[in-house]
């Protein structure tokens, strides 16, 4: 349920589950970052911070190093996969205070899928590949070196 403590519960549960799918802690942190940004988006924009609204998060292994996280809500229909994400470097250069969440989700997932739910609401599917997360980490650390 949305409301105080919802994200804390999500993080705690994800921390318990993720090690079974992703071995490296830094890659687990990135997957958690993408999921949390997606959840915050639903709570803030979908539910307008209203407490007591349903948000279900399911994680499952697709194959080997690939897994998916499905965020299921009853918020008004909103397909964020159609929104063009901001450019992270440009946002940083402008020192923009917002607009990074979707860009980070795009960067860290291999695919995002939106499905309207019968009766209202959204399913947002985030597809992750541990190899992709490894590449992202290597690329950004190599560039920083």
Partner 1 sequence: MPRDLDSHLISMSRLRLHNGQDVSCVRFRGSVRKSTEDSFRQRLDESGRRAAHLLVDLSEVEYLCSSGLGILLEQSATQERQGGWLRLISPSQTVSMILRLSGAAASLAWFPAEDEALDDLRGQAA
44 vs 64 by CB, closer to partner 1: 44
In order of 86, 88, 91, 106, 107, the CA distances from 97 in angstroms are 12, 12, 8, 19, 19
45/106 Cα distance (integer angstroms): 18
Phi, psi of 13, rounded to the nearest 5 degrees: -70, -40
Binding mask 44-63 for partner 1 (x = CB under 8 A): x-------------------
H/E element, 36: helix 25-41
Least distance (Å) from partner 1 to the CB of residue 118?
29
Residues that bind partner 1 (CB under 8 A): 4-5, 7-8, 11-12, 15, 26, 29-30, 32-33, 36-37, 40, 43-44, 88-89, 91-93, 95-101, 104, 107-108, 136-137, 140-141, 143-144
């Amino acid at each position: 349920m949305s409301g105080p403590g919802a994200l804390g519960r999500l993080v705690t549960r994800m921390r318990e589950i993720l090690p079974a799918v992703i071995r490296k802690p830094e890659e687990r942190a990135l997957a958690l970052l993408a999921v949390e940004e997606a959840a915050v988006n639903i709570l803030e924009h979908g539910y307008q911070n209203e407490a007591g609204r349903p948000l279900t998060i399911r994680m499952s292994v697709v194959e080997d190093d690939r897994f998916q996280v499905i965020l299921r809500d009853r918020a008004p229909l909103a397909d964020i996969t159609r929104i063009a994400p901001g450019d992270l470097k440009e946002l940083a250069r402008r020192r923009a205070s917002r607009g990074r969440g979707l860009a980070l989700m795009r960067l860290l997932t291999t695919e995002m899928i939106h499905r309207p739910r019968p009766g209202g609401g959204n399913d947002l599917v985030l597809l992750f590949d541990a190899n992709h997360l490894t590449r992202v980490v290597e690329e950004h650390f190599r560039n920083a070196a």
